[in-house]
A = this chain, B = another copy of it.
Amino acid sequence: MSDFLNARLPDGRRVTIQIENGQFSGFSEALPGSVTAPDARDLGDLLVLPALVDSHVHLDKTFLGLPWRPHRSGPSVKERITAERDGRADLDLSVEARARVMLDQALSHGTTALRCHVDIDPDSKLDHLSQVMDARDAFSGRIDVQLVAFPQSGLCSAPGVHDLMDAALSDGAEIVGGIDPIGIDGDLDGHLDAIFGLAEKHGAGIDIHLHDPGHRGALELRDIAARTLASGLGGRVMVSHAFALSTVDDQTLDLTLTDLAEAGVAIMTAVPGAVPMLPVARIREAGVVVCAGSDNVRDAWSPFGNADMLERAMLVAYRCGFRTDEGLAIALDLATEAAAQAIGLGMWGLEIGAPADFIAVDAETVAEAVVNRPPRGYVVKGGLVVAGTLA
């Protein structure tokens, strides 16, 4: 049992946070002179928020830890895949070392759980996976890391990748990744047969990078929804990016969202800046779980990114035009509870029985925390302080 005194909850209550076995066991309104645990920590009236969840990162891609590298790739997905693979040999720091720098940065910003896609391709084979697993183990108890075996260079179209994915899922990857069945692999049925087959074989969930826009992307989304429904994988399938949802007509959007909601397929947005933003409010209204992720953090794909999910929540609100307190709270939800739900973490947030993962920040309200993104005073995982500027 451990207590945190003088916590301010999003609803304004001043409470003592009680924790047992790493879970919240109570939020009691502070009583002067009441008995608290001897090791109780005083949060000094800071605002407490659920710990942040990053639903989409690439720990093996980041340049963090290296000197600044100017961006060199052209803008298309294929150009970036090629530029990234061509540039790997120049990186003077191991995948594991760079992944550790990024995990440390994510933790300092209050992220205590994340989903990481790891490249599985004919060059790197299972090497990135084993290095990211070592980095993950080094952060055990501080950040929970889910690993996706991700066929960045294609699955059907890249020799040997199917077998490598199979091996990755035996070796410790927990989720089957996919990428543009039509746009990259050029084989809608072949790609989806492969990843749903691997998911069934390994009892794994699925997370598909879908950049394909417009009606091609919508067709893929509806096919993914149908296969999810047929395979009973509802609640365990996510589509990342899903740019199609911001580039189709209204009627197609409605039909697609209806299918995704019925099937239990979640959507992840990395909150792009220079292409249309997903219609987040409408996706939520349709009953589809939508969450945010960092995606690229200073890598061959983008020089931007800092693994700060509170900043990502700000960008959600900025891009969606959310200005009210309710809208700003929705933006934060995409980086906390909705993200936890989308990646299957179970209970998350400031509730009795949920993991005692939270952050404490100097902000008056949730809305102010989202617009201001104050330093994380305390980052707490399972009831233990694991980071923070005041820790």
Contacts and interface: CB of A to CB of B under 8 A. Distances in A.
Interface of A: 67-68, 70-72, 75, 273-275, 277, 298, 302-306, 314-315, 317-321, 323-325, 328, 364-365, 367-368, 371-372
A304 B273 contact: no
A364 B274 contact: no
B67 A364 contact: yes
Listed from nearest, the 8 A-B pairs whose CB atoms lie closest are A274-B321, A273-B318, A71-B323, A68-B364, A70-B325, A68-B368, A273-B319, A68-B365
B325 A274 contact: no
Contact of A303 (B67, B277, B323): B323
Contacts of A274: 277, 318-321
A102 to B, nearest CB: 14
Nearest to A365: B68
B367 A70 contact: yes
Interface centre among A273, A314, A315, A372 (most CB of B within 10 A): A273
8 contacts: A68-B364, A68-B367, A68-B368, A70-B325, A71-B323, A273-B321, A274-B318, A274-B320
Contacts of A302: 323
A82 to B, nearest CB: 16
A96 B343 CA distance: 49
A71 B273 contact: no
Interface centre among A275, A303, A305, A367 (most CB of B within 10 A): A303
B367 A303 contact: yes
Contacts of A321: 75, 273-275
A72 to B, nearest CB: 8
A255 to B, nearest CB: 25
Contacts of A303: 323, 328, 367, 371
A375 to B, nearest CB: 11
A325 B365 contact: no
Given A72-B324, A304-B314, A306-B371, 4 more contacts: A68-B365, A71-B323, A273-B320, A304-B317
A304 B371 CA distance: 6
A312 to B, nearest CB: 12
A25 to B, nearest CB: 30
Contacts of A70: 324-325, 365, 367
